[in-house]
A and B are shown apart, each in its own frame.
Chain A
């Protein structure tokens, strides 16, 4: 058993800047909804945010809100409210937590940001099922509850190679959204503004990629747990200059850490890849657990899912379609395996932790034999921990701790 000692997580100085940017974003969103100056769109995380920004919408991301419910540990008390109206506890706990919060009239935004009383009321709901079909059902419930239209893109799935047929299908669907969205704002889409938003998203994505790739350094200057927080601007401010400005600051700090030989984990001895969703209500505990074991969880599929290299301002609709289709979650098992193998090599990984999230089959890739196949092919050992992204009733802290400790011990002994 590893010896426990008091450890302190290293603060990333840019976090203060990020907190300011995020506060500005939420206040701006709130102003749009309260003052009615701009229309508000709710958009699923890899929905067509660039299009919405170009059309002047203030954009709220329900998954971001749901993750906040998880991180603030409010979700476990809210999920039963959604269960009571018929949503099974087996169903996506982002959905059940968020709908539960709506039913109870609660939001973490009101605690975090003075002057904000509720999530911004939407004028339109926009989804893309590239990540899962649940988002469509989630928006459908709000559509009914709030009396606003729900429109979106239903994506091909299980894509091995992204073909022209796939891109044609998705780009046609994105273009078909335009008349509805124009009808709501009363303004025509300015294609140059769309090109600009796509271009800004591309710039943001390039910087975010560089940020994550700083973790290829030994020791790694940031962890997965840092990444889940610092990805905030890449998620909610894609297509804006603020996000780009922030990642320039963050990247500079991390590069300085590399030059100084400073790792996020002191005396880093073990490097871990995290596959699956974070357990939002346990970020701190998990971060400290690995820290105590001198182990850096430094790369993940989750944080890397906000890298969209296909964005191209010259061909905005088709490049958006391509970017949304190239997402890991949309891809075939063969692609996913190749992708993870590449990540293991690139980040010099000693072991993989798979999070089997009870209510998120789409992000629980351990369920289909991948750990066994990848371990046989690469020799990199795997550990599966059971839990959930938001429903802490599915999380066993003691079991997680024991399993992780034994796993790291095994890796170290195997050297």
Chain B
């Protein structure tokens, strides 16, 4: 597919975003007999292994702002975030009927229990709770994680009916390395020229990576960057913020737009961390499982989903992002009832307060409807930075 302009690319991504029936992934599957699709939830799964099995990794990030949840509420009580309700709604209404397997990473108890429900409801499907360690020593967490990776590989081999060779894995690692480099280039470009790459566009571009084959997503980012670089857009007098806490349940697209409209350029975020979880290239030679394991243990993003045992290091990732992106402040946006984001927030806030870095906090759900209060809050935040910040 050839794209000429930013608008064409963004329209294409918007179409993918709006299609909660996953027509594109269905087409991919139907194009060749025997193809399989593996769904995965946030925050991180080693998609390289799915790719190496010849399967399509499909990111499932809930039903979005507009999907009506009817059945999902019957599975869940009140005090819980929305992503599991809308995800189960999608499953029981047939929107995921083409998905051959689901992987649930160990982000929180809700996703863990969603995996349990899946196992009970869809007994004929491949379902894996992918338990990543919170201990990052090679001889402890590393041993456990390598075992998880091997079991994941074996499970997919069984489903695929063929071996996943080391060579397959090394090739897939290289493909995802390439993809990650372009993701980072897009993020770097947005931080340098936020008026040329509005966050809603970057968000849609990254969301496209959840449903497209990785190679296609890489080409899409390449096309976007060259079109956006050439584009002429007016720079606004916005402040620069890092948006954090949005790594699992997604806010409505309007919320992201509202932040920028109200005066905040998002110069870094933790949307779709699966794209950027690993911080650099994974070695594409040698033992692929060992390489993926070491990358996870020693070169992955420090977020609310990971425990940082060294108190002095806690929050360093966020502080580094603020410095690297020349951000003026931070917006903590957490889904209601999100244990990881809400537990992490006070620790992060204490680091920011010590350095007098401005911040605001807000909560949302994927179907939050009223954007005016958000615009007022973030607009006031942007004004206060402009009026009183030392910078």
Interface residues of A, Cβ cutoff 8 Å to B: 85-88, 90-91, 129, 132-134, 136-137, 140-141, 143-144, 150-151, 153-154, 156-158, 165, 168-169, 172-173, 176, 332-334, 336, 356-359, 361-362, 364, 366-369, 372-373, 384, 386
Contacts and interface: CB of A to CB of B under 8 A. Distances in A.
Contacts of A143: 311
Contacts of B350: 85-86, 144
B347 A157 contact: no
B159 interface: no
Interface string B118-155: 01100000000101011101011101100100000000
B311 A140 contact: yes
Contact of B144 (A137, A156, A358): A156
Contact of B109 (A88, A332, A362): A362
B343 A134 contact: yes
Nearest to B84: A368
Interface in B327-359: 334, 336-340, 342-347, 349-350
Residue among B113, B120, B133, B336 having the largest count of chain A Cβ atoms under 10 Å:
B113
B342 A158 contact: no
A361 B116 contact: no
B72 to A, nearest CB: 11
Contacts of A136: 134, 307
B139 A332 contact: no
B79 A361 contact: yes
Contact of A368 (B113, B143, B342): B113
Residue among B108, B116, B137, B309 having the largest count of chain A Cβ atoms under 10 Å:
B116
A168 B79 contact: no
4 closest cross-chain pairs (CB), A and B: A333-B116, A154-B134, A86-B346, A169-B144
Contact of B135 (A154, A165, A358, A369): A154
Interface in B54-111: 74-80, 106, 108-110
Contacts of A156: 131, 144
Contact of A157 (B131, B137, B139, B344): B131
A156 B106 CA distance: 9
A369 to B, nearest CB: 5
Contacts of A90: 79, 336-338, 342
A25 B115 CA distance: 42
Given A91-B342, A136-B307, A137-B343, A176 B137 contact: yes
Contacts of B116: 158, 332-334, 336, 368
Residue among A134, A136, A158, A366 having the largest count of chain B Cβ atoms under 10 Å:
A158
Given A158-B115, A165-B144, A144 B311 contact: yes
Contacts of A358: 79
Given A172-B143, A173-B135, A140 B347 contact: yes
Given A86-B345, A368-B117, 8 more contacts: A133-B343, A140-B347, A144-B350, A156-B131, A157-B131, A367-B79, A368-B75, A368-B116
Contact of A169 (B76, B113, B133, B349): B133
Given A129-B134, A144-B311, A384 B143 contact: no
B299 interface: no
B78 A356 contact: yes
14 contacts: A137-B347, A140-B314, A143-B311, A157-B112, A157-B129, A169-B133, A172-B139, A333-B116, A333-B117, A366-B77, A367-B79, A368-B117, A369-B75, A384-B77
A172 B80 contact: no
A373 B342 CA distance: 31
B79 A172 contact: no
A361 B80 contact: yes
A341 to B, nearest CB: 14
B361 interface: yes
Contact of A154 (B80, B133, B340): B133
Contact of A86 (B112, B135, B139, B361): B361
Contacts of B120: 333-334, 369, 373
B339 A361 contact: yes
A151 B134 CA distance: 12
Nearest to B121: A369
B131 A133 contact: no
B77 A88 contact: no
Contacts of B137: 176
A334 B113 CA distance: 11
Contacts of A133: 108-109, 134, 307, 339-340, 343
A168 to B, nearest CB: 7
Contacts of B307: 133, 136, 154
Contacts of B108: 133
Contacts of B147: 165
B115 A364 contact: no
A168 B346 CA distance: 34
Contacts of A132: 109
Nearest to B345: A86
Contacts of A362: 109
Nearest to B130: A158
A95 to B, nearest CB: 8
Given A90-B337, A143-B311, A367-B79, A158 B112 contact: yes
Contact of B76 (A150, A368, A373): A368
B133 A386 contact: no
A176 B131 CA distance: 20
Residue among B115, B134, B344 having the largest count of chain A Cβ atoms under 10 Å:
B134
Nearest to A335: B116
Nearest to A168: B143
Contacts of A364: 77, 79
A140 B113 CA distance: 25
A85 B143 CA distance: 38
Contacts of A368: 75-76, 113-114, 116-117
Contacts of B334: 88
B112 A386 contact: no
Contacts of B338: 90
Contacts of B314: 140, 144
A373 B363 CA distance: 32
Contact of B343 (A91, A158, A173): A91
B319 to A, nearest CB: 15
B244 to A, nearest CB: 13
Nearest to A164: B147
B309 A150 contact: yes
Residue among A90, A165, A176 having the largest count of chain B Cβ atoms under 10 Å:
A90
B129 A158 contact: yes
B178 to A, nearest CB: 32
